[in-house]
A = this chain, B = another copy of it.
Amino acid sequence: MPTEPLADGAPQASLPRWLTDDEQRAWRAYIQLAQLLMRQLDRDLHPFGLSMHDYEILVELSEAAQQRLRMTDLADRTAQSRSRLSHQVSRLESRGLVAREGCEGDKRGTFAVLTELGAAVIGQVAPHHVASVRRHFIDQLAADGLGALTGACEPALDRLRQARERD
């Protein structure tokens, strides 16, 4: 982003606090790495017919009690909008990896449930995906990088999640 404001002569209510060089560098390293990583992990999942978003949905279900989650909870956990998640779950459903079930005595929504086939696919794909995460990310971090990264990201993550819940 520009580091200098445009001199357009118009008074501004509050001057923008432009990013310093160090802030700019950290921000760009962070977000560009995330974008490249998502693309690379997507590419590595491609031979299995899954995208990163598909994979995340299957993993969240595989770790949930009875391998099922309310759609709204699944949207929160995968950082997806509800409409996009619904579309993705439909695609996974058509492949037999996920099933949708109504929620007896609870009108608040539908559950997504991992099928046996879905569980088998996750079991098959996970070792390859973990190797990919290691190769492109974890194994590139210096010895003190793990803790530094967690410490830097978790407060911002918690805050953004809370903001979403208030949406």
Q: Are A140 and B127 in contact (CB under 8 A)?
A: no
Residues of the B chain whose Cβ atoms lie less than 8 Å from the Cβ of A18: 130
Determine which of B19, B55, B62, B149 lies in contact with A152 in the assembled complex, contact meaning CB atoms within 8 Å.
B149
The total of chain A residues at the interface (CB under 8 A) is: 68
Q: Are B6 and A123 in contact (CB under 8 A)?
A: yes
**A41 to B98 Cα, complex, angstroms:** 31
Interface positions of A from 129 to 167, Cβ below 8 Å from B: 129-131, 133-134, 136-138, 140-142, 145-157, 159-161, 163-164
Q: Which secondary structure dominates chain A's binding surface?
A: helix
Q: Are A126 and B2 in contact (CB under 8 A)?
A: yes
A37 adjacent to chain B (CB < 8 Å): yes
A50 adjacent to chain B (CB < 8 Å): no
Determine which of B27, B36, B126 lies in contact with A138 in the assembled complex, contact meaning CB atoms within 8 Å.
B27
